[in-house]
Amino acid sequence: MNAENPENFTPSGDLPPSPPTERLAALPSGEVVARPASPPSMDESRTPAELVEWALQKFVGQPIVMTSSFGMEGCMLMDLASKAIAKHDLPKLTIACIDTGFFYPETKQLQKKLVERYQNLDFVTWKSPVSIEQQAKSYGPNLWQYNPNLCCNIRKVQPMSENVVNYNLWITAVRRSQTKSRADTPVMGWDWRYQLLKFCPMVTLSRPEVWSYIQEHDVPFNQLHLQNFPSVSCFHCTKPVPGSSPESDARSGRWSNDDDKDECGLHYQI
């Protein structure tokens, strides 16, 4: 798949027409048999669970990756994917964590719980080619304090760019209400920067809906959400937001030293 011919995909988010529910195939012996019905077509009105089932069936056999920093949304999406895989007897889904080297201990603990619980997901770790020591030597100590965009680029965007080229479909837990940049995010769209399809089955959800799912299905989540952390990333930059709860949609604590920053650059260039 490439930018010039991404399997007839249009950037508007439309998908090619679904094939007939039943097609005929000829065996080497000449016998004609019916192929299995295709998964239902994708439509934004469908639930996230239905969308995940659709995508994992539609792109079965192709390289697919879901990225996550183990936020609450990502945990919900892993649960949906695991259930879809079990229901339809699908291959394992790769879950890629971009480890910046600055994760809270609670995030590491959550990662272990997720790995233990979801045996049909394949957890891998992507890291920056620049070590923390090399970064300090080249840019000075505490880069995140005076140039957080550059720090995010080195520790997140670079490993993303280097590894995601091996996949055709990128699944994320992005929601439209998270930031202004994400307000128009399509369920399915062509990502021109990384040159692959980007699938966001949770775009229409609110944070309270995510929290409700987490509780109802007993999904592991970062315990820092119970300590006034609406969102959790690197310990240098993420701070608690007084008065917040797991249902809070704010990202004001994500980069506590920069009130104008609300994106790390993975999804939107900064």
Number of H helices, E strands in the chain: 8, 8
Residue 268 lies in a domain: no
Q: Determine the 3-state secondary structure of 12 from DSSP.
A: coil
* pTM, entire model: 0.80
What residues have CB less than 8 Å from 172, skipping those under 6 apart? 66, 67, 77, 198, 199, 200, 267
- Residue-wise pLDDT for 115-150, tens only, equals 999 999 999 999 999 999 999 999 999 998 888 889
H or E stretch covering 99: strand 93-99
Q: What is the total count of domains within the chain?
A: 1
Residue 23 lies in a domain: no
Residue 237 lies in a domain: no
Residue 145 lies in a domain: yes
In 108-224, the DSSP E strands lie at: 121-127, 169-171, 188-191, 196-199
For residue 26, pLDDT over 80 is answered with no
- Residue-wise pLDDT for 29-74, tens only, equals 555 444 444 555 677 889 999 999 999 999 999 999 999 989 999 9
Domain that holds residue 74: 48-227
Count of C-beta atoms within a 10 Å radius of residue 39: 18
What residues have CB less than 8 Å from 216, skipping those under 6 apart? none
Residues classed as catalytic: 264
pLDDT bucket at 219, cuts 50 / 70 / 90: very high
Residue 134 lies in a domain: yes
Count of C-beta atoms within a 10 Å radius of residue 139: 15
Quick one: pLDDT at residue 259? 59
Residue 248 lies in a domain: no
Provide the percentage of residues in the chain whose pLDDT is more than 70: 77
In angstroms, the CA 4 to CA 68 distance is: 28
Both tokens of residue 180? 């202004």
Kindly report the CATH number assigned to the domain that includes residue 198.
Answer: 3.40.50.620
Residue 119 lies in a domain: yes
Average pLDDT score, the chain? 82
Quick one: pLDDT at residue 268? 57
Residue pair 140/38 in contact by the 8 Å Cβ criterion: no
- Which residues pair with residue 169 across a beta bridge? 64, 197
Residue pair 70/114 in contact by the 8 Å Cβ criterion: yes
- Residue-wise pLDDT for 12-22, tens only, equals 344 433 333 33
Put the strands of the sheet holding 93-99 in their side by side order.
Answer: 121-127, 93-99, 64-67, 169-171, 196-199, 188-191
Residue 186 lies in a domain: yes
What is the C-alpha R_g of the chain?
Answer: 20
Distance from first CA to last CA of the chain, Å, rounded? 26
